[in-house]
Chain A
Protein backbone atom coordinates (compact mmCIF):
# COMPACT_ATOMS: atom_id res chain seq x y z
CA UNK A 1 0.00 0.00 0.00
CA UNK A 2 2.87 2.31 0.90
CA UNK A 3 4.49 1.60 -2.45
CA UNK A 4 1.21 2.39 -4.23
CA UNK A 5 0.90 5.60 -2.27
CA UNK A 6 4.47 6.58 -3.17
CA UNK A 7 3.83 5.78 -6.82
CA UNK A 8 0.69 7.90 -6.96
CA UNK A 9 2.47 10.69 -5.08
CA UNK A 10 5.39 10.61 -7.56
CA UNK A 11 2.95 10.63 -10.45
CA UNK A 12 1.18 13.63 -8.96
CA UNK A 13 4.48 15.45 -8.69
CA UNK A 14 5.37 14.64 -12.31
CA UNK A 15 1.91 15.79 -13.46
CA UNK A 16 2.21 19.07 -11.61
CA UNK A 17 5.68 19.68 -13.01
CA UNK A 18 4.39 19.12 -16.53
CA UNK A 19 1.48 21.46 -15.89
CA UNK A 20 4.02 24.26 -15.46
CA UNK A 21 5.82 23.36 -18.70
CA UNK A 22 2.93 22.48 -21.02
CA UNK A 23 0.08 24.53 -22.46
CA UNK A 24 -2.92 24.45 -20.16
CA UNK A 25 -6.04 22.42 -20.84
CA UNK A 26 -8.46 25.24 -20.23
CA UNK A 27 -11.92 24.30 -19.11
CA UNK A 28 -13.82 27.16 -20.69
CA UNK A 29 -12.23 27.02 -24.12
CA UNK A 30 -14.43 27.93 -27.06
CA UNK A 31 -13.90 26.07 -30.27
CA UNK A 32 -13.78 28.14 -33.44
CA UNK A 33 -15.02 27.14 -36.90
CA UNK A 34 -14.00 28.29 -40.31
CA UNK A 35 -16.04 31.20 -41.47
CA UNK A 36 -17.26 30.44 -44.94
CA UNK A 37 -18.24 33.92 -46.04
CA UNK A 38 -15.98 36.02 -48.21
CA UNK A 39 -12.96 37.23 -46.25
CA UNK A 40 -12.48 40.94 -46.11
CA UNK A 41 -10.11 42.32 -48.72
CA UNK A 42 -9.46 45.28 -46.39
CA UNK A 43 -7.94 43.95 -43.20
CA UNK A 44 -6.65 47.41 -42.38
CA UNK A 45 -10.21 48.49 -41.70
CA UNK A 46 -10.52 46.24 -38.67
CA UNK A 47 -8.79 48.35 -36.11
CA UNK A 48 -5.29 48.27 -37.52
CA UNK A 49 -4.69 51.99 -37.05
CA UNK A 50 -1.14 52.74 -36.06
CA UNK A 51 0.24 49.54 -37.58
CA UNK A 52 1.92 49.10 -40.94
CA UNK A 53 0.05 49.74 -44.13
CA UNK A 54 -2.49 47.09 -45.05
CA UNK A 55 -0.74 46.17 -48.27
CA UNK A 56 1.73 44.06 -46.40
CA UNK A 57 -1.05 41.93 -44.95
CA UNK A 58 -3.22 39.39 -46.63
CA UNK A 59 -6.02 37.71 -44.83
CA UNK A 60 -5.71 33.94 -44.80
CA UNK A 61 -8.54 32.60 -42.74
CA UNK A 62 -11.39 33.87 -40.61
CA UNK A 63 -12.77 31.72 -37.80
CA UNK A 64 -15.88 32.23 -35.71
CA UNK A 65 -17.33 30.82 -32.51
CA UNK A 66 -20.63 28.87 -32.70
CA UNK A 67 -22.61 31.91 -31.48
CA UNK A 68 -20.69 34.18 -33.89
CA UNK A 69 -19.59 36.42 -31.03
CA UNK A 70 -15.87 35.73 -31.49
CA UNK A 71 -14.19 36.42 -34.82
CA UNK A 72 -10.57 35.41 -35.25
CA UNK A 73 -8.81 36.72 -38.34
CA UNK A 74 -5.56 35.10 -39.35
CA UNK A 75 -3.38 37.47 -41.35
CA UNK A 76 -0.19 36.87 -43.20
CA UNK A 77 2.56 39.43 -42.87
CA UNK A 78 4.06 39.48 -46.35
CA UNK A 79 7.32 41.03 -45.21
CA UNK A 80 8.27 38.76 -42.35
CA UNK A 81 6.35 35.73 -43.59
CA UNK A 82 4.78 35.20 -40.20
CA UNK A 83 1.14 34.69 -39.33
CA UNK A 84 -0.68 37.04 -37.02
CA UNK A 85 -4.01 36.60 -35.29
CA UNK A 86 -6.55 39.29 -34.54
CA UNK A 87 -9.36 38.43 -32.18
CA UNK A 88 -12.59 40.42 -32.17
CA UNK A 89 -15.56 40.44 -29.83
CA UNK A 90 -18.11 43.12 -28.90
CA UNK A 91 -16.91 43.03 -25.27
CA UNK A 92 -13.38 44.12 -24.61
CA UNK A 93 -12.74 41.69 -21.73
CA UNK A 94 -13.37 38.84 -24.17
CA UNK A 95 -10.66 39.71 -26.68
CA UNK A 96 -8.07 41.43 -24.46
CA UNK A 97 -5.53 39.01 -23.02
CA UNK A 98 -7.36 35.95 -24.32
CA UNK A 99 -5.63 32.69 -25.10
CA UNK A 100 -5.64 31.37 -28.67
CA UNK A 101 -4.89 27.66 -28.84
CA UNK A 102 -3.69 25.80 -31.90
CA UNK A 103 -4.92 22.37 -30.87
CA UNK A 104 -3.00 20.33 -33.43
CA UNK A 105 0.30 21.92 -32.49
CA UNK A 106 -0.45 22.01 -28.77
CA UNK A 107 0.59 25.66 -28.66
CA UNK A 108 -1.00 28.65 -27.01
CA UNK A 109 -0.72 32.38 -27.71
CA UNK A 110 -1.88 35.31 -25.66
CA UNK A 111 -3.54 38.28 -27.31
CA UNK A 112 -2.53 41.77 -26.29
CA UNK A 113 -4.58 44.78 -25.28
CA UNK A 114 -5.93 45.04 -28.86
CA UNK A 115 -6.70 41.34 -29.30
CA UNK A 116 -3.61 40.84 -31.44
CA UNK A 117 -1.14 37.95 -31.24
CA UNK A 118 1.84 36.87 -33.33
CA UNK A 119 1.63 33.22 -34.30
CA UNK A 120 4.96 33.24 -36.11
CA UNK A 121 5.93 30.66 -38.67
CA UNK A 122 3.27 28.00 -38.38
CA UNK A 123 2.09 25.47 -40.90
CA UNK A 124 -1.29 26.98 -41.59
CA UNK A 125 -2.92 23.92 -43.18
CA UNK A 126 -2.17 21.73 -40.21
CA UNK A 127 -2.18 24.23 -37.39
CA UNK A 128 -5.26 26.20 -38.22
CA UNK A 129 -7.50 23.18 -38.64
CA UNK A 130 -8.46 23.22 -34.96
CA UNK A 131 -8.34 26.53 -33.14
CA UNK A 132 -10.00 27.56 -29.90
CA UNK A 133 -9.97 30.61 -27.66
CA UNK A 134 -10.11 31.01 -23.91
CA UNK A 135 -11.05 34.45 -22.59
CA UNK A 136 -10.33 35.35 -18.95
CA UNK A 137 -12.86 34.12 -16.40
CA UNK A 138 -12.23 36.99 -13.99
CA UNK A 139 -10.33 40.27 -14.01
CA UNK A 140 -9.14 42.24 -10.98
CA UNK A 141 -7.48 45.61 -10.62
CA UNK A 142 -4.73 45.83 -8.02
CA UNK A 143 -3.22 48.99 -6.52
CA UNK A 144 -0.18 49.03 -4.23
CA UNK A 145 -2.18 50.70 -1.47
CA UNK A 146 -5.36 48.66 -1.59
CA UNK A 147 -7.14 45.38 -2.03
CA UNK A 148 -7.79 43.98 -5.54
CA UNK A 149 -11.08 45.17 -6.98
CA UNK A 150 -13.09 42.93 -9.27
CA UNK A 151 -13.58 44.38 -12.73
CA UNK A 152 -15.26 41.40 -14.31
CA UNK A 153 -16.11 37.83 -13.32
CA UNK A 154 -18.18 35.10 -14.86
CA UNK A 155 -21.35 34.18 -13.03
CA UNK A 156 -19.96 31.17 -11.15
CA UNK A 157 -16.92 33.20 -10.00
CA UNK A 158 -18.93 36.06 -8.52
CA UNK A 159 -17.79 35.15 -5.00
CA UNK A 160 -14.18 34.67 -6.01
CA UNK A 161 -11.77 37.11 -4.36
CA UNK A 162 -8.08 37.76 -4.66
CA UNK A 163 -5.95 38.04 -1.56
CA UNK A 164 -2.73 39.92 -2.17
CA UNK A 165 0.27 40.75 -0.05
CA UNK A 166 3.20 42.88 -1.16
CA UNK A 167 6.66 42.06 0.16
CA UNK A 168 9.25 44.71 -0.54
CA UNK A 169 12.24 43.34 1.32
CA UNK A 170 15.32 43.72 -0.89
CA UNK A 171 15.50 45.44 -4.25
CA UNK A 172 12.76 43.39 -5.86
CA UNK A 173 9.19 43.63 -4.62
CA UNK A 174 7.24 40.39 -4.64
CA UNK A 175 3.50 40.20 -4.94
CA UNK A 176 1.75 37.21 -3.44
CA UNK A 177 -1.61 36.56 -5.09
CA UNK A 178 -4.05 33.94 -3.89
CA UNK A 179 -7.49 33.24 -5.28
CA UNK A 180 -10.04 32.44 -2.59
CA UNK A 181 -13.71 31.40 -2.53
CA UNK A 182 -13.40 29.47 -5.75
CA UNK A 183 -16.22 27.02 -6.49
CA UNK A 184 -15.25 23.41 -5.70
CA UNK A 185 -15.15 22.33 -9.35
CA UNK A 186 -13.14 25.30 -10.51
CA UNK A 187 -9.38 25.53 -10.91
CA UNK A 188 -7.34 28.52 -12.00
CA UNK A 189 -4.96 27.22 -14.66
CA UNK A 190 -3.22 30.50 -15.45
CA UNK A 191 -2.95 33.82 -13.69
CA UNK A 192 -1.67 36.78 -15.70
CA UNK A 193 -0.39 40.02 -14.29
CA UNK A 194 -0.57 42.83 -16.82
CA UNK A 195 1.93 45.46 -15.72
CA UNK A 196 1.54 47.65 -18.79
CA UNK A 197 0.98 47.29 -22.52
CA UNK A 198 4.48 45.88 -22.97
CA UNK A 199 4.91 43.71 -19.91
CA UNK A 200 2.82 40.75 -18.84
CA UNK A 201 3.78 37.99 -16.42
CA UNK A 202 2.16 34.58 -16.88
CA UNK A 203 2.09 32.25 -13.88
CA UNK A 204 0.85 28.73 -13.30
CA UNK A 205 -0.67 28.89 -9.80
CA UNK A 206 0.12 26.17 -7.30
CA UNK A 207 -2.55 25.67 -4.63
CA UNK A 208 -4.28 28.77 -6.14
CA UNK A 209 -1.22 30.76 -5.12
CA UNK A 210 1.39 32.65 -7.12
CA UNK A 211 4.39 34.85 -6.36
CA UNK A 212 5.27 37.55 -8.91
CA UNK A 213 8.52 39.45 -8.81
CA UNK A 214 7.54 42.96 -9.81
CA UNK A 215 9.59 45.41 -11.83
CA UNK A 216 10.71 48.57 -10.07
CA UNK A 217 8.11 51.31 -9.57
CA UNK A 218 5.23 49.06 -10.52
CA UNK A 219 1.95 50.92 -10.13
CA UNK A 220 -1.58 49.64 -10.44
CA UNK A 221 -1.99 46.46 -12.46
CA UNK A 222 -4.62 44.10 -13.71
CA UNK A 223 -4.76 40.41 -12.85
CA UNK A 224 -6.49 38.02 -15.25
CA UNK A 225 -7.64 34.54 -14.18
CA UNK A 226 -8.19 31.64 -16.58
CA UNK A 227 -9.92 28.36 -15.83
Chain B
Protein backbone atom coordinates (compact mmCIF):
# COMPACT_ATOMS: atom_id res chain seq x y z
CA UNK B 1 0.00 0.00 0.00
CA UNK B 2 1.33 3.45 -0.85
CA UNK B 3 2.62 5.55 2.03
CA UNK B 4 -0.06 8.20 1.50
CA UNK B 5 -2.90 5.67 1.65
CA UNK B 6 -1.53 4.38 4.95
CA UNK B 7 -1.41 7.94 6.27
CA UNK B 8 -5.00 8.52 5.22
CA UNK B 9 -6.20 5.43 7.06
CA UNK B 10 -4.26 6.29 10.21
CA UNK B 11 -5.67 9.81 10.08
CA UNK B 12 -9.15 8.36 9.91
CA UNK B 13 -8.51 6.30 13.07
CA UNK B 14 -7.23 9.36 14.90
CA UNK B 15 -10.08 11.62 13.86
CA UNK B 16 -12.53 8.97 15.01
CA UNK B 17 -10.58 8.74 18.28
CA UNK B 18 -10.25 5.05 17.65
CA UNK B 19 -6.53 4.61 17.38
CA UNK B 20 -3.80 2.62 19.04
CA UNK B 21 -0.48 4.00 20.12
CA UNK B 22 1.16 2.09 17.26
CA UNK B 23 -1.12 3.88 14.74
CA UNK B 24 -0.01 7.22 16.08
CA UNK B 25 3.62 6.19 16.00
CA UNK B 26 3.31 4.93 12.40
CA UNK B 27 1.58 8.12 11.32
CA UNK B 28 4.29 10.34 12.84
CA UNK B 29 7.01 8.20 11.27
CA UNK B 30 5.35 8.23 7.83
CA UNK B 31 4.97 12.00 7.89
CA UNK B 32 8.57 12.52 8.98
CA UNK B 33 9.75 10.24 6.16
CA UNK B 34 7.70 12.22 3.64
CA UNK B 35 9.03 15.50 4.94
CA UNK B 36 12.73 14.63 5.21
CA UNK B 37 13.57 14.93 1.48
CA UNK B 38 11.85 18.33 1.41
CA UNK B 39 13.86 19.51 4.42
CA UNK B 40 17.12 18.30 2.86
CA UNK B 41 16.26 20.10 -0.36
CA UNK B 42 15.43 23.38 1.33
CA UNK B 43 18.03 23.49 4.08
CA UNK B 44 20.77 25.92 3.22
CA UNK B 45 24.03 26.76 4.81
CA UNK B 46 22.34 28.78 7.57
CA UNK B 47 20.52 25.73 8.82
CA UNK B 48 23.76 23.78 9.11
CA UNK B 49 25.36 26.68 10.94
CA UNK B 50 22.50 26.82 13.41
CA UNK B 51 23.18 23.23 14.45
CA UNK B 52 19.86 21.78 13.30
CA UNK B 53 19.86 18.43 11.54
CA UNK B 54 17.19 17.81 8.86
CA UNK B 55 15.75 15.25 11.29
CA UNK B 56 15.30 17.97 13.97
CA UNK B 57 13.50 20.26 11.55
CA UNK B 58 11.21 17.46 10.34
CA UNK B 59 10.36 16.47 13.91
CA UNK B 60 9.76 20.07 14.95
CA UNK B 61 7.40 20.56 12.02
CA UNK B 62 5.52 17.34 12.64
CA UNK B 63 5.39 17.57 16.43
CA UNK B 64 3.39 20.80 16.27
CA UNK B 65 0.64 18.79 14.52
CA UNK B 66 0.57 16.32 17.37
CA UNK B 67 -0.06 18.69 20.25
CA UNK B 68 -2.87 17.22 22.34
CA UNK B 69 -5.50 19.04 24.30
CA UNK B 70 -6.79 18.12 27.74
CA UNK B 71 -9.19 15.60 26.21
CA UNK B 72 -6.38 13.77 24.44
CA UNK B 73 -7.46 14.99 20.99
CA UNK B 74 -5.22 16.66 18.40
CA UNK B 75 -6.80 20.04 17.57
CA UNK B 76 -4.30 21.12 14.89
CA UNK B 77 -4.33 17.77 13.13
CA UNK B 78 -8.10 17.57 13.28
CA UNK B 79 -8.43 21.06 11.83
CA UNK B 80 -6.14 20.26 8.91
CA UNK B 81 -7.54 16.80 8.26
CA UNK B 82 -11.13 16.97 9.44
CA UNK B 83 -13.46 14.10 8.61
CA UNK B 84 -14.85 15.84 5.52
CA UNK B 85 -11.40 16.17 3.99
CA UNK B 86 -10.46 12.60 4.85
CA UNK B 87 -13.77 11.30 3.51
CA UNK B 88 -13.28 13.23 0.27
CA UNK B 89 -9.82 11.78 -0.23
CA UNK B 90 -10.95 8.25 0.59
CA UNK B 91 -12.99 8.36 -2.62
CA UNK B 92 -10.46 10.39 -4.65
CA UNK B 93 -7.27 9.41 -6.42
CA UNK B 94 -4.23 8.75 -4.29
CA UNK B 95 -2.33 11.42 -6.20
CA UNK B 96 -4.83 14.06 -5.06
CA UNK B 97 -4.25 13.23 -1.42
CA UNK B 98 -0.51 13.08 -1.99
CA UNK B 99 -0.62 16.60 -3.43
CA UNK B 100 -2.75 17.91 -0.56
CA UNK B 101 -0.53 16.30 2.06
CA UNK B 102 2.69 17.55 0.46
CA UNK B 103 1.25 21.06 0.24
CA UNK B 104 0.35 21.03 3.91
CA UNK B 105 3.70 19.64 4.97
CA UNK B 106 5.60 22.06 2.72
CA UNK B 107 3.63 25.02 4.07
CA UNK B 108 4.24 23.99 7.65
CA UNK B 109 7.91 23.44 6.91
CA UNK B 110 8.13 26.97 5.56
CA UNK B 111 6.49 28.20 8.77
CA UNK B 112 9.03 26.24 10.85
CA UNK B 113 11.88 27.90 8.95
CA UNK B 114 10.25 31.25 9.59
CA UNK B 115 9.78 30.55 13.30
CA UNK B 116 13.39 29.45 13.56
CA UNK B 117 14.69 32.39 11.57
CA UNK B 118 16.27 34.05 14.61
CA UNK B 119 18.33 30.91 15.23
CA UNK B 120 18.98 30.03 11.63
CA UNK B 121 19.96 33.57 10.65
CA UNK B 122 21.12 35.04 13.96
CA UNK B 123 22.67 38.10 12.31
CA UNK B 124 19.17 39.30 11.30
CA UNK B 125 17.94 38.94 14.87
CA UNK B 126 21.01 40.82 16.05
CA UNK B 127 20.41 43.67 13.61
CA UNK B 128 16.75 43.80 14.69
CA UNK B 129 17.74 44.07 18.36
CA UNK B 130 20.25 46.77 17.49
CA UNK B 131 17.63 48.73 15.53
CA UNK B 132 15.21 48.51 18.46
CA UNK B 133 17.90 49.63 20.90
CA UNK B 134 18.82 52.60 18.67
CA UNK B 135 15.26 53.68 18.04
CA UNK B 136 14.38 53.55 21.73
CA UNK B 137 17.05 56.15 22.38
CA UNK B 138 16.24 58.41 19.44
CA UNK B 139 13.91 61.33 20.21
CA UNK B 140 10.78 61.31 18.08
CA UNK B 141 10.71 57.51 17.71
CA UNK B 142 8.10 55.38 19.40
CA UNK B 143 7.87 51.60 19.47
CA UNK B 144 4.42 50.04 19.58
CA UNK B 145 3.89 46.37 20.31
CA UNK B 146 0.51 45.27 19.15
CA UNK B 147 -0.63 41.65 19.23
CA UNK B 148 2.89 40.33 18.74
CA UNK B 149 3.74 42.76 15.93
CA UNK B 150 6.17 45.59 16.49
CA UNK B 151 5.62 48.84 14.68
CA UNK B 152 7.78 51.94 14.80
CA UNK B 153 6.44 55.47 14.65
CA UNK B 154 9.06 57.97 13.51
CA UNK B 155 7.71 61.46 14.12
CA UNK B 156 10.69 63.79 14.58
CA UNK B 157 10.19 67.10 16.34
CA UNK B 158 8.81 69.87 14.11
CA UNK B 159 7.94 67.24 11.49
CA UNK B 160 4.19 67.85 11.67
CA UNK B 161 1.91 65.05 10.60
CA UNK B 162 2.78 65.00 6.91
CA UNK B 163 2.85 61.44 5.67
CA UNK B 164 4.78 60.19 2.63
CA UNK B 165 2.73 59.89 -0.54
CA UNK B 166 3.43 56.17 -0.96
CA UNK B 167 1.30 53.15 -0.19
CA UNK B 168 2.21 50.96 2.78
CA UNK B 169 3.41 48.25 0.37
CA UNK B 170 5.84 50.64 -1.33
CA UNK B 171 7.15 52.16 1.90
CA UNK B 172 10.12 49.81 1.98
CA UNK B 173 11.28 50.70 -1.57
CA UNK B 174 10.71 54.39 -0.85
CA UNK B 175 12.86 54.22 2.29
CA UNK B 176 15.62 52.24 0.55
CA UNK B 177 15.73 54.90 -2.16
CA UNK B 178 16.02 57.66 0.46
CA UNK B 179 18.73 55.78 2.34
CA UNK B 180 20.79 55.18 -0.80
CA UNK B 181 20.37 58.76 -2.03
CA UNK B 182 21.34 60.16 1.36
CA UNK B 183 24.49 58.04 1.42
CA UNK B 184 23.43 56.05 4.49
CA UNK B 185 24.74 52.80 3.03
CA UNK B 186 27.77 51.40 4.76
CA UNK B 187 26.85 53.07 8.07
CA UNK B 188 26.39 51.16 11.30
CA UNK B 189 22.86 50.88 12.70
CA UNK B 190 22.95 53.83 15.18
CA UNK B 191 24.37 56.34 12.66
CA UNK B 192 22.15 54.99 9.90
CA UNK B 193 18.93 55.62 11.83
CA UNK B 194 20.16 58.87 13.32
CA UNK B 195 20.66 60.28 9.83
CA UNK B 196 17.40 58.80 8.56
CA UNK B 197 15.45 60.48 11.36
CA UNK B 198 17.30 63.75 10.67
CA UNK B 199 16.35 63.56 7.00
CA UNK B 200 12.68 62.84 7.81
CA UNK B 201 12.73 65.79 10.21
CA UNK B 202 14.13 68.10 7.51
CA UNK B 203 11.45 66.97 5.08
CA UNK B 204 8.78 67.34 7.82
CA UNK B 205 7.70 63.74 7.29
CA UNK B 206 6.45 61.20 9.79
CA UNK B 207 6.12 57.48 9.14
CA UNK B 208 4.57 54.51 10.88
CA UNK B 209 6.21 51.31 9.77
CA UNK B 210 6.58 47.69 10.92
CA UNK B 211 9.94 46.89 12.50
CA UNK B 212 10.47 44.10 9.97
CA UNK B 213 10.18 46.61 7.11
CA UNK B 214 12.83 48.78 8.75
CA UNK B 215 15.07 45.73 9.06
CA UNK B 216 14.57 44.94 5.38
CA UNK B 217 15.27 48.60 4.52
CA UNK B 218 18.57 48.48 6.38
CA UNK B 219 19.61 45.17 4.79
CA UNK B 220 18.54 46.18 1.28
CA UNK B 221 20.42 49.48 1.58
CA UNK B 222 23.61 47.66 2.57
CA UNK B 223 23.08 45.13 -0.22
CA UNK B 224 22.56 47.89 -2.79
CA UNK B 225 25.71 49.59 -1.57
CA UNK B 226 27.77 46.39 -1.73
CA UNK B 227 26.50 45.62 -5.23
CA UNK B 228 27.38 49.09 -6.50
CA UNK B 229 30.75 48.82 -4.80
CA UNK B 230 31.34 45.43 -6.45
CA UNK B 231 30.42 46.97 -9.82
CA UNK B 232 32.84 49.84 -9.18
CA UNK B 233 35.61 47.50 -8.18
CA UNK B 234 35.02 45.33 -11.26
CA UNK B 235 35.19 48.50 -13.35
CA UNK B 236 38.41 49.32 -11.56
CA UNK B 237 39.66 45.83 -12.34
CA UNK B 238 38.78 46.26 -16.02
CA UNK B 239 40.69 49.53 -16.11
CA UNK B 240 43.50 47.93 -14.20
CA UNK B 241 43.86 45.21 -16.76
CA UNK B 242 43.71 47.50 -19.76
CA UNK B 243 45.12 50.88 -18.86
CA UNK B 244 46.91 51.05 -15.57
CA UNK B 245 49.45 48.97 -13.85
CA UNK B 246 47.89 46.07 -11.94
CA UNK B 247 47.60 46.62 -8.15
CA UNK B 248 49.95 44.41 -6.29
CA UNK B 249 47.26 42.25 -4.74
CA UNK B 250 49.72 39.56 -3.78
CA UNK B 251 51.76 42.05 -1.81
CA UNK B 252 48.63 43.34 -0.04
CA UNK B 253 47.53 39.83 0.83
CA UNK B 254 50.97 39.03 2.13
CA UNK B 255 50.73 42.15 4.27
CA UNK B 256 47.33 40.99 5.48
CA UNK B 257 48.64 37.56 6.43
CA UNK B 258 51.30 39.11 8.62
CA UNK B 259 48.74 41.46 10.14
CA UNK B 260 46.30 38.64 10.92
CA UNK B 261 49.10 36.51 12.41
CA UNK B 262 49.92 39.40 14.77
CA UNK B 263 46.26 39.83 15.73
CA UNK B 264 45.82 36.11 16.35
CA UNK B 265 49.01 36.04 18.42
CA UNK B 266 47.33 38.53 20.75
CA UNK B 267 44.38 36.16 21.17
CA UNK B 268 46.88 33.36 21.87
CA UNK B 269 48.75 35.42 24.46
CA UNK B 270 45.48 36.11 26.25
CA UNK B 271 44.64 32.38 26.21
CA UNK B 272 41.58 32.98 24.10
CA UNK B 273 42.70 30.47 21.47
CA UNK B 274 45.18 27.58 21.35
CA UNK B 275 48.17 27.23 19.01
CA UNK B 276 46.25 24.68 16.88
CA UNK B 277 43.33 27.05 16.61
CA UNK B 278 45.65 29.89 15.61
CA UNK B 279 46.96 27.78 12.75
CA UNK B 280 43.43 26.76 11.73
CA UNK B 281 42.38 30.42 11.61
CA UNK B 282 45.41 31.37 9.51
CA UNK B 283 44.86 28.52 7.05
CA UNK B 284 41.15 29.31 6.78
CA UNK B 285 41.91 32.98 6.12
CA UNK B 286 44.54 32.10 3.51
CA UNK B 287 42.01 29.96 1.67
CA UNK B 288 39.44 32.73 1.87
CA UNK B 289 41.92 35.28 0.47
CA UNK B 290 42.75 32.88 -2.34
CA UNK B 291 39.03 32.59 -3.12
CA UNK B 292 38.67 36.38 -3.07
CA UNK B 293 41.40 36.58 -5.70
CA UNK B 294 39.77 33.79 -7.71
CA UNK B 295 36.34 35.37 -7.90
CA UNK B 296 34.82 35.48 -4.41
CA UNK B 297 33.91 33.65 -1.22
CA UNK B 298 32.75 30.13 -2.03
CA UNK B 299 31.26 28.93 1.27
CA UNK B 300 30.34 30.09 4.74
CA UNK B 301 33.04 31.29 7.12
CA UNK B 302 32.16 28.31 9.27
CA UNK B 303 32.93 26.07 6.26
CA UNK B 304 36.38 27.63 5.86
CA UNK B 305 37.30 27.16 9.50
CA UNK B 306 35.71 23.73 9.84
CA UNK B 307 38.04 22.40 7.13
CA UNK B 308 41.05 23.07 9.36
CA UNK B 309 39.35 22.43 12.70
CA UNK B 310 37.23 19.34 11.87
CA UNK B 311 36.28 18.62 15.48
CA UNK B 312 34.61 22.04 15.89
CA UNK B 313 30.82 21.87 16.28
CA UNK B 314 28.46 24.57 14.94
CA UNK B 315 27.54 25.40 18.51
CA UNK B 316 31.19 25.99 19.48
CA UNK B 317 31.64 28.08 16.38
CA UNK B 318 28.65 30.25 17.22
CA UNK B 319 29.66 30.58 20.84
CA UNK B 320 33.34 31.51 20.59
CA UNK B 321 34.97 31.30 17.20
CA UNK B 322 32.59 33.22 14.98
CA UNK B 323 33.21 36.66 16.44
CA UNK B 324 37.00 36.24 16.08
CA UNK B 325 36.79 35.02 12.50
CA UNK B 326 34.22 37.63 11.50
CA UNK B 327 36.35 40.35 13.03
CA UNK B 328 39.43 39.21 11.10
CA UNK B 329 37.50 38.94 7.84
CA UNK B 330 35.88 42.34 8.33
CA UNK B 331 39.16 44.10 9.08
CA UNK B 332 40.85 42.29 6.15
CA UNK B 333 38.10 43.41 3.81
CA UNK B 334 38.36 46.98 5.10
CA UNK B 335 42.12 46.85 4.63
CA UNK B 336 41.74 45.81 0.98
CA UNK B 337 38.96 48.34 0.42
CA UNK B 338 41.15 51.11 1.75
CA UNK B 339 44.01 50.08 -0.50
CA UNK B 340 41.68 50.01 -3.51
CA UNK B 341 40.18 53.41 -2.64
CA UNK B 342 43.62 54.93 -2.31
CA UNK B 343 44.60 53.54 -5.67
CA UNK B 344 41.32 54.80 -7.17
CA UNK B 345 42.01 58.27 -5.76
CA UNK B 346 45.43 58.11 -7.41
CA UNK B 347 43.71 57.27 -10.70
CA UNK B 348 41.33 60.20 -10.18
CA UNK B 349 44.32 62.55 -9.97
CA UNK B 350 45.73 60.88 -13.05
CA UNK B 351 42.40 61.35 -14.93
CA UNK B 352 42.33 65.03 -13.87
CA UNK B 353 45.75 65.58 -15.27
CA UNK B 354 44.72 63.99 -18.53
CA UNK B 355 41.70 66.23 -18.88
Contact = CB atoms under 8 A, between A and B. Distances in A.
A20 B66 contact: yes
Nearest to B25: A21
A212 B67 contact: yes
Contacts of B44: none
Interface stretch (B110-118, B281-289, B337-345): B110-118
B60 interface: yes
B60 A17 contact: no
A165 B68 contact: no
B67 A17 contact: no
Report whether over half of chain A's contact residues are helix, strand or loop; otherwise say mixed: mixed
Contact of A206 (B21, B60, B145): B60
Given A144-B147, A174-B115, A207-B60, A213 B66 contact: no
Contacts of B59: 13, 16-17, 20, 206
A125 interface: no
A184 to B, nearest CB: 13
Contacts of B352: none
A22 B115 CA distance: 26
Contacts of B147: 144, 168, 173
A174 B147 CA distance: 11
Given A167-B115, A203-B64, 7 more contacts: A16-B59, A20-B59, A144-B147, A168-B147, A210-B63, A212-B67, A213-B64
Contact of A202 (B24, B55, B69, B112): B69
Contact of B111 (A21, A174, A209): A174
B296 interface: no
Given A17-B32, A200-B70, A213-B76, A206 B115 contact: no
B175 interface: no
A18 to B, nearest CB: 5
A109 to B, nearest CB: 9
A17 B29 contact: yes
Interface in A1-43: 9, 12-14, 16-18, 20-22
A166 interface: yes
A167 B148 contact: yes
A13 B55 CA distance: 7
Contacts of A55: none
Nearest to B53: A9
15 contacts: A16-B59, A20-B24, A22-B21, A22-B25, A198-B70, A202-B68, A202-B69, A202-B70, A203-B64, A204-B66, A206-B59, A207-B56, A211-B60, A211-B115, A212-B64
B55 A12 contact: yes
A83 interface: no
A176 interface: yes
Given A112-B70, A213-B76, A166 B148 contact: yes
B29 A144 contact: no
Contact of B148 (A110, A173, A200, A204): A173
Given A16-B59, A21-B24, A200-B69, A210 B64 contact: yes
A206 B32 CA distance: 13
B329 to A, nearest CB: 29
Nearest to A198: B70
Given A17-B28, A18-B25, A165-B115, A209 B68 contact: no
A165 B55 contact: no
